[in-house]
Amino acid sequence: MSRRTWAVKFADAFRGVWLAVQHERSFCVHLPVAVVVFMMAAVLRCDGPEWCLLIGCVGAVFAAETFNSALETLFHAQDESVKSRVNGVLDRAAGAVLLVSGASAVIGLIVFGRRAWGLLEPGTE
């Protein structure tokens, strides 16, 4: 059995990300939102831990969406008898994306809310 090199493994992983971005419409929402999040973090001068939280949230949403996309691809490649046995799998995967996105939105509101509130308080930077 031949062993795949790390370069091949990384190339496959990047191809997987690219396929998800190309074929999953949700990335048309997630990518611009991520850009806005990072722009707001820069404008509001978030500190290191806040950046880590925001980057972690964006990464978690992208990862959840990519897993969801992979499951959708696998599901749609099955015949009807298999699809009937795994009823609800796509709903569960979409639910996971919803949970991660919701939690990330709450974390973003907390981080940005604290920063914005600090700008409104007199005598603070």
Count: domains in the chain: 1
Has residue 87 been placed in a domain? yes
Has residue 63 been placed in a domain? yes
Which residue range is the domain that position 88 belongs to? 6-120
What pTM was estimated for this model as a whole?
0.86
- Rounded-to-integer distance, Cα 115 and Cα 51, Å: 12
What does each of the 125 residues of the chain score in pLDDT, given as a tens digit? 678 899 999 999 999 999 988 888 888 899 999 999 999 999 999 999 999 999 999 999 999 999 999 999 999 999 999 999 998 999 999 999 999 999 999 999 999 999 888 777 766 55
Q: E strand or H helix at 100, and its extent?
A: helix 89-120
- Rounded-to-integer distance, Cα 79 and Cα 14, Å: 29
